[in-house]
Amino acid sequence: MIRPHRTHPLWFAFLLHRLSGLGLALFLPIHFYMLSLAISAPARLDGFLRFTDLTIVKLAEYGLVFLLAAHLFGGLRLMALEFLPWSPHQKTMAALAVAFAFLVSTLFFLKAI
């Protein structure tokens, strides 16, 4: 399904960075709108926040925090690649970015449930 020339780890790192950025960009308007309800319709926001107590929603939040952390650590990896002297450990850096993202988002999830 993935074209053969793309099946190497650093291409997947690129894809994760792009898809996480896209996901976050699509999520943000909703996030901002909900927060603005704090002043215009606080009761509605409270109702929504109670809805987010559901485990399924917490799982979705887990995913979102993972996207944010992955995009952050992936972005730091990219800026290190571009502005610091070249490291021969590119695949390791990509793997570490995902690992830290997973750690941080799992910490969030475990605190959330």
Partner 1 sequence: MANETQTMTQTMTVSIWRENGDDGRFEKYEVPARENQTVLDVVAYVQQHIDPTLSYRFACRVGMCGSCAMMVNGSPRWTCRTHVSKVVADDQLEVAPLRNLPVIKDLATDMDPFFEKWVAAEAVFHPSKTRHDPMAAITPDDPMRIAASEAIECINCAVCYAACDVVESNPDYFGPAALNRSWSLVNDIRDDGQDVRLAAVGSNGGCHNCHSQQGCVQYCPNELNPTLSIAGLKRETTKALFRRSR
Partner 2 sequence: MLDLRLYMLQRLTALIMAPLVIGHIAVMIYAVQGGLTVDEILARTQGSVAWFLFYGSFVVAVSIHGAIGLRVISFEWFGLNGRALQLFSWAVFALLFGLGAKAVYAVTFAGVGL
Residue in the block written with tokens 């799982």: 59
Q: Nearest distance from residue 93's CB to partner 1, in Å? A: 11
3-class SS at 52? coil
Choosing from 33, 55, 85, 86, the residue that interacts with partner 2 (CB under 8 A) is 33
Burial (CB count <10 Å: 0-12, 13-18, 19+), residue 92: exposed
Q: Considering CB distances under 5 to 8 angstroms, the limit depending on partner class, which of partner 1, partner 2, none binds residue 81?
A: partner 1
- Which 78-97 positions form the footprint of partner 1 (CB under 8 A)? 78, 81-83, 86, 90
Q: What value does the CA radius of gyration of the chain take, rounded to a whole number of Å?
A: 17
Rounded distance between C-alpha atoms, residue 54 and residue 69, angstroms: 22
By CB under 8 A, name the binding residues for partner 2: 18, 21-22, 24-25, 28-29, 31-33, 35-40, 42, 45-46, 49-50, 52-53, 61, 65, 68-69, 72, 75-76, 79, 82, 104, 107-108, 111-112
